[in-house]
Each structure stands twice: as structure tokens, then as C-alpha cells.
């Protein structure tokens, strides 16, 4: 079952979506509940990259009325960014003061190593110990995995060094393995204005919808279609299906729509900036998302085809090439834009 609610009062829209869903079957009064938003960078939700605090507020109100007293919000922002700063900029410190919820920085959490399909993965102990975990991602595009939603949002539950390693492993298989090792009890997707070009925001598309459901694989496959991708085009979803983690959405799945009067009249199509700039002039080898996103943004801003080949990713460490290297991994190149991640403005200058 998938429930979709439309509206511009995002607290109420979220609350009503949960009230109409089947979450009550799995939730029990008195539980300690962990809420995992997407605060990948310290950026207001209106930019299309982070979870609206109003969505989490709607969840808090629903949980309190259901009889849940202890609520922990937990996150680890992307490599190079401060989770505490993200909590402040994204409006979560205000939630802490208003409702007495706890803000947990998973960067400070000890980690436990678990194994799935031959992969050893470190996961924050605080996330594993959650009695009931609600995943609250943003529905948006990603420059490498195409979609980032429920399953990929769990990447905020691993240490920074593990985040880097996920990229060296190609992202898709470890993302699916992580979902197998860290079960989610319910998903609340912030589909209000996610960026449909890449994950750090800047090109939000207004949709005014909250999507809730229990099966992360079904939710992600459904949401992939919403932004123009078939589930089979998203590698980690294919792995998840092979692992038996859930089912792909099909027309037999019950979808309940509420407040359809607030549904946008026109659905804007994704610009797919990341795909627009792929080509023989870019060589990518195990690049981290924040680094790759900075490159895509810079290419979009410059509007010019680079004179030299561009190389990006951990696979270029220790190599020397007559090319433009993006990030500290390419410091042996003739031209290297330093930083981990580099700033898009510096990449523009190099281009």
C-alpha cells in the first residue's frame, strides 16, 4: 500500500498521510522512534536537497498522538559537511526546542561491522539500535545513481570513511546491501520540491506531495517512475530485488491519493543535468557524489565544453595526466582543482 497526500500545509499534509496509511499496524504506543531525514548539506529545503522540517514536524505530531514519547532525529551529512550545521540551517534545532526531540549526529556514533553478500559494511550503532526507524528522504535525482530516495538515504547511517568506500565500490551494490542490514520500519518521502537534476539542490520542482509506505524497494521503484526512470535503470534497485528486500511497484499495488485538488496541473520533466554532461570528455572512476555534483553544477554554470578531458574520482589517485583533474584525488594532474569536495566556483575557473 502506498499513500500519497497533496497540499501546501506540509505539517498537516504529512500528518494526514500517516493517519490514512497502514503505519498503525506496525507502530506501538510507548516505542522509541528514530527519524532519519536527508540533510546531506546545510541547505534550506526550498532548494530541493533536504527534508522539510515541516514534514518531520507532521511525523512528530502523529507519533505523539499515537502515544510515542521518545523521538530521536538522526543524521550524518555528506563528507566534508557538518551535521550540526545542517540541523541549524535546515530548521531542526527549532524542532528540538519546540518538541523536546533529540538531535543525534551519527558522525559521532560508534559503528558496527555487518556482512551481506560478501560485503563488510560499517553502520552507526545508534541507527542499528533504533526500536522503530522512520526513513524520511527527499525525492530527487542523483548525478550517479539517477534516483536518490528511501534506500540511498540510509547512506547517512554509515561513517564518513564508509561513505567514501561506497563510491569506490560503485554505490549500487553497497546501497542495496546496507538496506538488507539496516531494516526500515516505515518510509515518509518528502516529494514537495525535490531537485530533479542532482542531489545538492538548486533546481527544485514543486510537486506538493508526501508519499508514505512500508516497503523501501516498492517506494523507490514507484518514485523512480515519478521522475522518469524505470526501476531497472536504477542499479541498486536491481540488486535489492535480487536480494529479496521488497517488490517493485506494479499496477496491482494499492495507491491511495488524498487531496488531489492540490496536485500540480503540469508535471515538469527533469533536466537530467548529470546525463546532459556525460560524454567522452568526462572520465569518472569511483567519484564521490558531492565531488561529481560540484562538477555537474560547474559545467552547467559555465555552459562551455571543456578544452581538455576532465577526470574525477578515487580511481585517479597517484596518476599523472594532461587533463583537468577534479578533487584532491587528482592532485598529480597538470591541472587540478583541489578540495574534498572541491568548490564548483573553483571548477568553473579551471574550465
Query: Over the stretch 116-162, which tens digit does the pLDDT of each residue have?
Result: 999 999 999 999 999 999 999 999 988 888 899 999 999 999 999 99
Q: Is residue 178 part of a domain?
A: yes
Number of domains in the chain: 2
Q: Which band of pLDDT confidence, cut at 50, 70 and 90, is reported for residue 278? A: low
Q: Which tops the pLDDT comparison, 200 or 270?
A: 200
Q: Is residue 237 part of a domain?
A: yes
Express as a percent the part of the chain with pLDDT over 70: 92
The chain-wide mean pLDDT, for the chain, equals: 90
* Statement: residue 322 has pLDDT above 60: yes
Please give the model's pTM, rounded to 2 decimal places.
0.83
Residue 115 grid cell: 556482512
Statement to judge: residues 210 and 320 lie in one domain: no
Among 206, 228, 262, the domain boundary falls at 262
State the pLDDT at residue 287: 84
Statement to judge: residues 193 and 309 lie in one domain: no
State the pLDDT at residue 279: 61
Q: Is residue 119 part of a domain?
A: yes
Among 234, 262, 290, the domain boundary falls at 262
Statement to judge: residues 254 and 303 lie in one domain: no
State the pLDDT at residue 272: 47
Q: Which band of pLDDT confidence, cut at 50, 70 and 90, is reported for residue 70? A: very high
Statement to judge: residues 165 and 64 lie in one domain: yes
Q: Which band of pLDDT confidence, cut at 50, 70 and 90, is reported for residue 274? A: low
Partners of 102 in the beta sheet?
72
Statement to judge: residues 255 and 184 lie in one domain: yes
Q: Is residue 268 part of a domain?
A: no
State the pLDDT at residue 261: 75
Statement to judge: residues 242 and 111 lie in one domain: yes
State the pLDDT at residue 91: 97
Mean pLDDT of 302-329: 88
Q: Is residue 79 part of a domain?
A: yes
pLDDT digits (tens, 9 = 90+) for 251-261: 899 999 998 77
State the pLDDT at residue 277: 59
Statement to judge: residues 246 and 282 lie in one domain: no
State the pLDDT at residue 83: 97
Q: Is residue 56 part of a domain?
A: yes
Mean pLDDT of 207-211: 93
Mean pLDDT of 331-339: 92
Statement to judge: residues 147 and 32 lie in one domain: yes
Spell 315-334 as b/e; 16+ CB within 10 A means b.
bbeeeebebbbbbbbbeebe
DSSP 19-87: HTSSGGGT--TT-EEEEEE--SSS--GGGSSS--HHHHHHHHHHHHHHT--EEEEEE-PPTTS-HHHHH
State the pLDDT at residue 275: 58
Residue 68 grid cell: 510515542
Among 262, 286, 319, the domain boundary falls at 262
Q: Which band of pLDDT confidence, cut at 50, 70 and 90, is reported for residue 96? A: very high
Q: Count the Cβ atoms, other than its own, within 10 Å of residue 149.
A: 32
- Parent domain of 285: 277-350
Contact 190, 137 (CB under 8 A): yes
State the pLDDT at residue 276: 60
Residue 90 grid cell: 535546515
Q: Which band of pLDDT confidence, cut at 50, 70 and 90, is reported for residue 298? A: confident
- Find the angle CA(70)-CA(75)-CA(248) to the nearest 5 degrees: 95
Statement to judge: residues 32 and 123 lie in one domain: yes
* Statement: residue 3 has pLDDT above 80: yes
Q: Is residue 267 part of a domain?
A: no
Express as a percent the part of the chain with pLDDT over 90: 71
Mean pLDDT of 45-72: 96
CATH number, domain at 251?
A: 3.40.50.11440
pLDDT digits (tens, 9 = 90+) for 75-88: 999 998 999 999 99
Statement to judge: residues 146 and 200 lie in one domain: yes
Statement to judge: residues 13 and 151 lie in one domain: yes
pLDDT digits (tens, 9 = 90+) for 11-55: 999 999 999 999 999 999 999 999 999 999 999 999 999 999 999
Q: Which tops the pLDDT comparison, 230 or 16?
A: 16
State the pLDDT at residue 270: 43
* Statement: residue 197 has pLDDT above 90: no
Statement to judge: residues 17 and 60 lie in one domain: yes
User: What gap in Å lies between CA 280 and CA 277, rounded to an integer?
Assistant: 10
Q: Which tops the pLDDT comparison, 145 or 191?
A: 191
* Statement: residue 10 has pLDDT above 60: yes
* Statement: residue 264 has pLDDT above 70: no
Q: Is residue 270 part of a domain?
A: no
Amino acid at each position: 500500500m502506498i499513500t500519497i497526500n497533496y497540499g501546501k500545509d506540509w505539517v498537516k499534509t504529512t500528518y494526514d498521510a500517516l493517519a490514512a496509511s497502514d503505519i498503525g499496524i506496525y507502530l506501538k504506543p510507548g516505542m522509541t522512534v528514530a527519524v532519519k531525514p536527508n540533510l546531506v548539506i546545510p541547505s534550506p529545503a526550498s532548494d530541493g536537497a533536504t527534508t522539510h522540517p515541516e514534514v518531520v514536524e507532521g511525523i512528530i505530531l502523529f507519533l505523539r498522538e499515537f502515544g510515542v514519547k521518545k523521538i530521536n532525529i538522526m543524521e550524518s551529512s555528506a563528507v566534508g559537511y557538518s551535521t550540526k550545521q545542517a540541523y541549524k540551517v535546515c530548521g531542526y534545532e527549532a524542532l528540538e526546542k519546540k518538541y523536546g526531540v533529540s538531535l543525534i549526529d551519527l558522525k559521532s556514533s560508534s559503528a558496527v561491522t555487518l556482512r551481506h553478500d560478501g560485503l563488510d559494511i560499517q553502520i552507526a550503532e545508534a541507527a542499528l539500535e533504533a526500536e522503530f526507524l522512520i526513513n524520511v528522504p527527499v525525492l530527487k535525482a542523483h548525478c550517479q545513481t539517477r534516483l536518490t530516495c528511501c534506500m540511498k538515504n540510509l547512506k547517512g547511517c554509515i561513517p564518513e570513511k564508509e561513505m567514501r568506500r561506497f563510491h569506490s565500490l560503485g554505490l549500487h551494490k553497497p546501497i542495496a546491501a546496507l538496506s538488507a542490514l539496516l531494516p526500515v520500519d516505515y518510509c515518509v518521502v518528502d516529494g514537495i520540491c525535490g531537485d530533479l537534476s542532482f542531489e545538492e539542490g538548486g533546481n527544485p520542482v514543486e510537486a506538493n506531495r508526501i508519499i508514505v509506505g512500508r516497503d523501501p524497494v516498492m517506494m523507490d521503484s514507484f518514485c523512480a517512475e515519478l521522475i522518469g526512470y524505470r526501476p531497472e535503470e536504477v542499479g541498486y534497485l536491481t540488486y535489492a530485488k535480487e536480494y529479496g528486500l521488497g517488490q517493485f511497484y506494479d499496477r496491482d499495488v494499492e495507491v491511495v491519493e488524498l487531496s488531489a485538488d492540490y496536485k500540480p496541473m503540469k508535471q515538469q520533466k527533469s533536466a537530467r543535468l548529470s546525463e546532459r554532461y556525460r560524454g567522452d570528455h568526462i572520465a569518472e572512476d569511483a567519484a564521490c557524489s558531492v565531488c561529481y555534483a560540484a562538477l555537474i553544477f560547474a559545467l552547467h554554470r559555465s555552459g562551455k565544453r571543456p578544452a581538455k578531458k576532465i577526470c574525477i574520482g578515487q580511481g585517479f589517485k597517484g596518476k599523472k595526466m594532461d587533463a583537468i583533474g577534479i578533487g584532491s584525488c587528482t592532485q598529480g594532474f597538470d591541472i587540478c582543482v583541489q578540495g574534498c569536495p572541491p568548490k564548483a566556483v573553483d571548477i568553473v575557473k579551471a574550465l
